[in-house]
Amino acid sequence: MFQRKNFMKKYLLIGIIILIVDFIALVWLQDINFIPKITGITGGLFLVLAIIMTGGTFNDPDSRRLDIAVESRESLKRRVTWSTRFLLISAPSMFVCILSFILLFW
């Protein structure tokens, strides 16, 4: 259990560092309206990577069932771990993107 908490903290921290880099770019651009765009691009990039790592998102369901039957338990665990990592990295940027969009444009 302790190891899982550190796992989550590590990748959320990476996502926060990427968010800080986004804010540095926003200070350089000097336009508050770019907040949803820049954070959406960085968060969306990692979100798409998480979707791709799940493996069966864009596949035919019949071929996916066959893949699950043939795939080893270790390979499945590795894919789920990487997908979770990318999702945790994208979470801070996506949160700021949605929040800033609501505050700026509604």
Mean pLDDT of the chain: 86
pLDDT reported for residue 11: 95
pLDDT tens digits for 52-86?
888 666 666 666 666 666 777 887 788 889 999 99
Q: What is the pTM of this model?
A: 0.82
Domain count, the chain: 1
Residue 3 is which amino acid? Q
Question: 20 lies in which domain range?
Answer: 2-105
State yes or no: pLDDT of 1 exceeds 60.
no
Taking residues 6-34, report their average pLDDT.
Answer: 92
